[in-house]
Amino acid sequence: MVDVPATAVLVHSPYLGPASLRPLADALTALGHPVQLLDLRVTVNAAPVHQRIIGVFVDALEDSPVEGELVLVGHSGAGPLLPAFADALETPVRGLVYLDAGLPTPGRSWRDDAPPELVARLKSLSREGLMPRWDRWSPPEELAGLVPDAALREEITAEAPEVPLAFIKEPRPTVAWTGREAYLRLSTAYAAEAAAARERGWPVVELDADHLAPATAPEPVARALAELISRW
């Protein structure tokens, strides 16, 4: 019997778009690994964001030609939603991979655990209930350092939506996921999450890269991701 590899479903951060993961999708395809890259930007333009993003996620996969089991890969802010995504699907999910991402905090909001100074800054920068685009949270030179290629940087920032401020106050879905989970750390900013994953007994791979490496250095990220998935 031939073992059919699970399709890697790449889920971008609510604060970015599919351009942040498209190079990774191409690199996985080049390795011969089936992949599906979703575009969930339409879900984050109005509250309740969690409810909307889960609904569109399920619709997008049901309308896709994907067959067989899935592995859900959530980057950055998509990580805390992975159990809810898996729970809402009828298609079997082999496991969840947190890609330099936050871990689930069922019933708690992003604001509950975020640094108070960052919450206050986002509030001060918000206009008409909308937070600034993610690339405007930091000085321009920081993003230029992460994404030196001007064309790629423009593609990523052009997709970044203005997310409602209400999103950071919304309690995250309360879903009990008992299946496989793994963590792929790319940046030092997510060292604590990787350590927590290791304490839970998950497979953990750590790369000396940065948060946007799925776009800027997709080949090593794809190899590490494929290796994690192959363990299942």
20: domain CATH number is 3.40.50.1820
Instruction: Write down the pTM of the prediction.
Output: 0.93
Q: Which of 176, 211, 2 is nearest to 98 (CA)?
A: 211
Q: Is 127 inside a domain boundary?
A: no
Q: Which of 170, 213, 166, 169 is nearest to 189 (CA)?
A: 213
| Mean pLDDT confidence for 105-127 | 89
Q: Is 134 inside a domain boundary?
A: no
Q: Which of 88, 93, 131 is nearest to 9 (CA)?
A: 93
Q: Is 159 inside a domain boundary?
A: no
The pLDDT tens digits for 145-200 are 889 999 999 999 999 999 999 999 999 989 888 999 999 999 999 999 999 999 99
Number of domains making up the chain? 1
Name the residue range of residue 47's domain.
Answer: 7-105+173-230
Q: Is 137 inside a domain boundary?
A: no
The pLDDT tens digits for 26-81 are 999 999 999 999 999 888 888 888 999 999 999 988 888 887 899 999 999 999 99
